[in-house]
Amino acid sequence: MLPKTATLPRSIAHDFSLTYASTQNLPAHERSGVQVAHDRPVVVGPALTGARWVAVNACCNGTTSHRQAVNPINGAFYVAERFAIDFARLTPDLRLFDGDPEQLASWPGYGAEVVSAARGVVVGTRDGIADNVPVGSLPPITLDNIGGNYVVVDIGGGKFAYYAHLQPGSFTVGVGDRVRRGQALGLVGNSGNTDFPHLHFHVMDSPSPLASDGLPYEFNFFTSPGTIVNGDDVLAGEPATFDPTLSGPHSRQIPMDVQVVDFPS
């Protein structure tokens, strides 16, 4: 990590030293590199309101299902979910579900209102996909249904906000509608490639949820009680406990993986 006063490089080179289990006529050293973008992340408002939202599969804890999802489409590779977050809600007593986990009503985030994180124009929707029964009942996943019911909003500057896994029939907007920050879009559901109710949110560089690259973004404000440290227990229905290192108010930041977030109501 560079200090704040450092000048950013124009590019970064990565050198790889390779060894093989058997003798092969392959190179032992490789170099790869990336160009460094100097654009600042777009600042958005919350896509949800209220307390106890867990940032699941968020930045930057190794290879989550978002960061390692590379989409080969039409001869190109895209990493649309690079900065994506799955927002699942805890109950007031800090459990992921209350009651039978196979019932949608047991999940406190189910049916929560999803709001636009920025003003813009709705440029894509998908509706009519039924919610899954939670925990282990995924339907066959295709390119058509992977995001479930979703809304895409053009927020300007070549950036598009994506809200996925919504409840069928819950949309309050359609393609061509102008939306303001905080305007209702639909309800949290469990449609598409999801095992439990949550909102999948990310910002991308095209209106296609898959044929796009994920862009960094920051929420203008949130507070946090900390980061969950007993993830396996929480998945089993036990209350969450927190590491308080990231507790407190956060301005122009993105939540870290399994950080619990309170958005303004």
Question: How far apart are alpha carbons 13 and 32 in whole angstroms?
Answer: 6
- pLDDT value at position 140? 86
Q: Over the stretch 207-258, which tens digit does the pLDDT of each residue have?
A: 999 999 999 999 999 999 999 999 999 999 999 999 999 999 999 999 999 9
pLDDT in tens, 65-86: 777 777 788 888 888 888 999 9
Give pLDDT < 50 ranges for the chain.
none
Between CA 191 and CA 137 the distance in angstroms is: 11
Report the distance separating Cα 59 and Cα 255, nearest Å.
7
Map out the domains of the chain with their CATH numbers.
42-263 (2.70.70.10)
Q: Whole-model pTM?
A: 0.88
